[in-house]
Amino acid sequence: MTAQKGAPARHDGAAADRTERPPADRTERPPASSGEARPPEDGRARPGPDPEQPDLEQWGPAPGPAARALGLRPGEFDLAVQLGCLRTLPGPAGGPPTVAREEIARLLSAEDRMAALRRRVSTVGTRTGAELISISPQRFTRLARTGRLVPVRFYLNRYRKVVWRYLADDVEEFARSHPELLTGRTDPELRALLDAGADRRPRTWRGKRLGLALRITTDPWERAAAAAVHLDPSALAELVPDAVERSRLDGLRPRLGCPRPASAPARELVERLTRADAPDEIEWYGTLLAQQLDEARRERPAPRPGPRTPTAWPPPASLTDLPDAGARPVIPAPLGAMAGSAPPGRPSVPARPPQGPRRPRGRRLLDRLRRGSRKAPA
């Protein structure tokens, strides 16, 4: 299959799920009939914890080492923190939350705890999710486009198509709660939305991400930043006119769980998916941002830079050190005058013999051309 240059990006989850496998942090849902997680479809083994008891002092509480100690991929670790499966501590200097060493030891002490953690953070794509609840991928896509199934993350494949990922627990919960939507004809309300070209996956994903971000923090500045990340820069500048506060919100913006694309068109697509586009959605995020900002300003105003202090240059030792304004400037001797003199112990460099006036370069070229024309045979 050859990708066409400049082709518009599609949001068809079923087609994208057939063309591209998820990246390294993709997880597969274990079969419902057994407690063991089946291997990923791409054939790569899941990074498991060290068979020996890991040195917790060596791993430390940072997110990266903690994920490796638990045998989780970065995306799985982020979901575990956001879903409340891991007890975390506030990060240093406004950084991401950290995991206590005692929490790592508690999870590694029993295999059933790690198995339950992996099942909780397992995600599925369109095809695997459809197999999980025994429906066709087309029906699964229709349910997701109409907002019944909510994705938890996405990524772009090599053709810049959006591949949505869903929590396996959410898919199974939806199947238990709405069995009538899994068989028979499509509901008339859903059919009307599909005929109008509706695709609510970006909107429902933004709402899901905001809920997860608000769940793990009580800091009003971080909660305001979680809402501000989904607003257009122009709308954000209108709601937050103070540049210092906007800079603070930008520094606290949460990670969205999507790898940063390398190409500019892919980054523009990710930005479009991240920002709210409907007027009611923009108003909702703006209201939430205003509420959190009011609370943040009362509790801890944004730090502002102090006044600039002019640089104080040290005064001269005395006024006699200053040069005399009326004195004649000292002109250094030319190189020719210094040619006969040399420091002690070194031979004297003879002066260059004077040369006559040099002819212009263009005249010398004309002379050579004339001499050549005289020597040429008749």
Radius of gyration over every alpha carbon of the chain, rounded to an integer in angstroms: 35
Measured on CA atoms in the order 220, 225, 231, 235, is the torsion positive or negative?
Answer: positive
Q: CA nearest 166: which of 156, 177, 174?
A: 174
Q: How far is CA 190 from CA 142, 176, 193, 304, in A?
A: 8, 19, 5, 51
Measured on CA atoms in the order 115, 117, 119, 123, is the torsion positive or negative?
Answer: negative
Alpha carbon distance 347, 352 (integer Å): 15
Alpha carbon distance 358, 52 (integer Å): 85
Q: Which amino acid is at 187?
A: D
Kindly provide the residue ranges of all beta strands, DSSP E only, lying in 214-274, ordered along the sequence: none
pLDDT, residue 27, reads: 41
pLDDT, residue 238, reads: 92
Contact of 193 with 3, CB cutoff 8 Å: no
Contact partners, residue 235, CB within 8 Å, separation at least 6: 282, 286
With a cut of 70, which residues of the chain have pLDDT below it?
Answer: 1-63, 91-97, 257, 259, 306-378
pLDDT, residue 273, reads: 93
Q: How far is CA 186 from CA 139, 143, 151, 166, in A?
A: 9, 9, 21, 21
pLDDT, residue 71, reads: 84
Sheet strands side by side (includes 162-167): 123-124, 162-167, 153-156
pLDDT, residue 65, reads: 80
| Per-residue model confidence as pLDDT tens digits over 133-183 | 999 999 999 999 999 999 999 989 888 899 999 999 999 999 999 999 999
pLDDT, residue 83, reads: 87
pLDDT, residue 236, reads: 93
**DSSP line for 9-34:** PP--HHHHHHH----TT---PPPTT-
* Kind plus residue range of the DSSP H or E element containing 210: helix 201-215
**DSSP line for 268-304:** HHHHHHHS--SHHHHHHHHHHHHHHHHHHHHH-PPP-
| Per-residue model confidence as pLDDT tens digits over 304-362 | 776 666 666 666 555 555 555 555 655 555 555 554 555 555 555 555 555 655 555 55
pLDDT, residue 150, reads: 96
